[in-house]
């Protein structure tokens, strides 16, 4: 059974940093391209970072230069280092494979105060 459990969120002031973690189980983590998504209140879920099997990372312009996605295949862990956080980054953050194919985990709340 696929499980994705996110952690590391919290309340931070604008300009601060957080590191999110995602513990994955129940599937072949190492062969999946993985991604972080976020959903702000009243908005659709959006993709914020993708890491391919080759560890190549892809970011939308909104987070490029501020967020860094990484993975540890041995530990089946996915990470998101978020720097220079802004209030518009406030959302619940989720991990999933790059196509969003698995059941969604509970997410972790990130709140950035101005």
Strand order from edge to edge, sheet including 34-39: 10-13, 108-113, 91-97, 34-39, 46-51, 57-58
Rg of the chain (C-alpha set)? 13
Each residue of 40-89: pLDDT tens digit?
A: 999 999 999 999 987 899 999 999 999 999 999 999 999 999 999 999 99
Tell me what pLDDT residue 68 has: 98
Q: What is the mean pLDDT of the chain?
A: 97
- Which pLDDT value is given to residue 55? 85
């Amino acid at each position: 059974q696929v499980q994705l459990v996110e952690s590391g969120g919290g309340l931070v002031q604008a300009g601060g940093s957080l590191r999110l973690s995602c513990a994955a189980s129940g599937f072949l983590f190492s062969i999946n391209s993985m991604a972080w998504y976020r959903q702000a209140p009243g908005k659709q879920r959006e993709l914020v970072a993708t890491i391919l099997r080759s560890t190549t990372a892809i970011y939308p312009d909104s987070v490029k230069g501020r967020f860094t996605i990484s993975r540890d295949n041995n530990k089946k862990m996915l990470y998101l280092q978020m720097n220079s956080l802004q209030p518009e980054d406030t959302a619940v953050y989720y991990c999933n494979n790059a196509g969003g194919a698995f059941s969604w985990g509970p997410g972790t709340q990130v709140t950035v105060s101005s």
